[in-house]
């Protein structure tokens, strides 16, 4: 289940919290973009970068103990040397890109995500009924579209026939043909933990504080437009 569906279902957890750690108070438009097409039960889901780690988790869970060739990059400020064999490492302003091109099991991938939840897993690989492709680079935060055009849902592409996966992205209508979704994040308040009220560790405050507000889900499914709001505290 992705972080948007968790908010909608009221099942907010630590993974949802990580999604909002970087946000200050304000109104942030055109986030968590999804475009999906259904061709006789074969689905193509395209998304913006926010869903990358969750898509990797979904496909890795399907892969399980089996192995497959995995290519791409893990983007992190942490030192991952010794955790996994990398083809190449590039670094810019303290952010490292660890390039992967090797056989791995789904469990190995899940273990890395669990150990480094703040890293960005831009990986391309396949599992049963799933083919995932993610651009092997760091996402550009808040990258706008051209003119009045919204940012594109082209960072991640998942092709699958697994209806349950699709339902977590497009839950308004199950027999859709074409869907376009974007979200607005409205952060109305930031709750700082009591023990950090007088702290000068601003990085820790940002990490531990809860964002309170709502997401606005704007959908166009088979030509029908809807807009709904969901409150959250994460």
pLDDT in tens, 30-43: 999 999 999 999 99
For residues 43 and 158, membership in a common domain is answered with yes
pLDDT in tens, 19-66: 999 999 999 999 999 999 999 999 999 999 999 999 999 999 999 999
Q: Summarize the confidence of residues 162-186 as an average pLDDT.
A: 96
- Total count of domains within the chain: 2
Q: Report if residue 123 sits inside a domain.
A: yes
Same domain, 7 and 97: no
What are the CA-CA distances from residue 179 to residues 21, 43, 160, 194, 223 (Å)?
28, 11, 15, 43, 8
Q: What is the mean pLDDT of the segment spanning 79-108?
A: 92
Looking at the chain, the whole-number percentage of residues with pLDDT higher than 70 is 96
Is residue 191 within 8 A of residue 203, CB to CB? The reply is no
Query: For residue range 124-138, what is the model confidence (pLDDT) as tens digits?
Result: 999 999 999 999 998
Q: Specify whether 121 is located in the same domain as 188.
A: no
Q: Are residues 145 and 39 in the same domain?
A: yes
Q: Identify the pLDDT of residue 94.
A: 86
Residues 217 and 159 in one domain: yes
- Answer whether residue 28 is part of any domain: yes
Residues 188, 145, single domain; the answer is yes
Q: Do 150 and 220 lie in a common domain?
A: yes
Range of the domain at 102: 50-128
Please check whether residues 66 and 41 belong to one and the same domain. no
198 plus 212 within the same structural domain: yes
Helix axes 106-115, 52-63, angle to 10 degrees: 140
What is the pLDDT at residue 46? 98
Give domain status of residue 133, yes or no.
Answer: no
Indicate whether 225 and 170 sit together in one domain.
yes
Q: Which of 128, 160, 180 is the last residue of a domain?
A: 128
**Does position 150 have pLDDT exceeding 70, yes or no?**
no
Span 195-222, pLDDT tens digits: 999 999 999 999 999 999 999 999 999 9
Q: Give backbone dihedrals phi and psi of 128, rounded to 5 degrees, phi first.
A: -55, 125
Q: Give the whole-angstrom CA distance, residue 226 versus residue 43.
A: 22
pTM here is 0.92
How far is CA 208 from each of CA 15, 75, 118, 187, 234, rounded to the nearest angstrom?
13, 22, 13, 15, 10
- Judged against a pLDDT cut of 60, whether residue 143 lies above it is answered with no
């Amino acid at each position: 289940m992705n972080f948007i569906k968790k908010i909608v279902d009221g099942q907010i957890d630590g993974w949802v919290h990580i999604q909002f750690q970087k946000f200050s108070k304000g109104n942030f438009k055109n986030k968590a973009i999804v475009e999906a097409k259904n061709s006789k039960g074969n689905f193509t889901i395209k998304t913006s970068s926010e869903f990358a780690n969750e898509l990797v988790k979904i496909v890795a869970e399907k892969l399980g103990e089996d192995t497959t060739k995995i290519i791409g990059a893990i983007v992190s400020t942490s030192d991952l040397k010794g955790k996994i064999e990398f083809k190449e490492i590039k670094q810019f302003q303290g952010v490292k890109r660890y390039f992967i091109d090797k056989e791995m099991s789904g469990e190995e991938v899940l273990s890395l995500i669990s150990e480094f939840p703040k890293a960005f897993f831009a990986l391309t690989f396949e599992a049963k009924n799933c083919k995932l492709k993610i651009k092997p680079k760091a996402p550009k935060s808040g990258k706008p579209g051209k003119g009045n055009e919204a940012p594109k849902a082209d960072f991640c592409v998942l092709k699958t026939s697994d209806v349950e996966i699709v339902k977590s992205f497009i839950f308004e209508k199950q027999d859709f043909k074409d869907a376009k979704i974007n979200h607005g994040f409205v952060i109305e308040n930031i709750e700082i933990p009591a023990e950090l009220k007088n702290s000068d560790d601003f990085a820790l405050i940002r990490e531990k504080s809860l964002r309170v507000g709502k997401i606005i889900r704007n959908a166009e499914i088979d030509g029908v437009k809807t807009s709904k709001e969901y409150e959250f505290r994460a």
